[in-house]
Amino acid sequence: MKYQTFKFLEYGFKIDYHPHWNIGEYPGTLLALLSPLVGPEDQYRENLNITREALPNSSMSLEYYVNLSIEQLKEGLTNFRLLESSSAASFVRGKAHKLIYNGTSGIFYLKFMQIFTMMDNFVYILTYTAENNHYEEFFNDVKKMIKSFRPI
């Protein structure tokens, strides 16, 4: 299946996305890609969103930023449980860090995967969010989308 490309010139990146996914908007995100609903009872659309944050200090390391993010997640997500935290050798133009965790948000028990990478004094965060029991269902599509993320 041929993926479509979304180019965000203002923020300097492009990403390919699955044609059955929709572009949506979430407050605080640059881009939100929404999965199709699984069935009539499905109340949650799995999603991949991209956020960007200016580094508060140009000498801040990616690892330090990720550790700060983990502390914020512990405070902001009910039943937070870190499942994986690992550095990736390369991603886009440099290093990346991956977090996988789960927790409860409202009525939903969710599983998250976040990829953190730095580009031009910004941290870009790609976050896959899914109901825990649907996480694997969309994982391969999300992996392809994340892999296609590139600066332009």
Q: Model confidence over 79-109: pLDDT tens digits?
A: 999 999 998 655 666 789 999 999 999 999 9
Q: What is the pLDDT of residue 3?
A: 95
The tokens for 146 are 């994340």
d(CA 47, CA 102): 15
Give the containing element (helix H, strand E) for 137. helix 135-148
For residues 152 and 150, give the distance between their C-alpha atoms in angstroms, rounded to a whole number.
Answer: 6
**Domain 4-37+44-151 belongs to what topology?**
Protein Transport Mog1p; Chain A (3.40.1000)
> What is the per-residue pLDDT for 94?
72
Beta bridge partners of 81: 102
pLDDT of 131-140, one tens digit each?
A: 999 999 999 9
User: What's the rounded Cα separation, in Å, for the pair 5 and 19?
Assistant: 9
**Angle (CA) 139 140 143, round 5°:** 85
Chain segment 49-75, per-residue pLDDT in tens = 999 999 888 888 999 999 999 999 999
Calculate mean pLDDT across residues 8-16.
Answer: 91
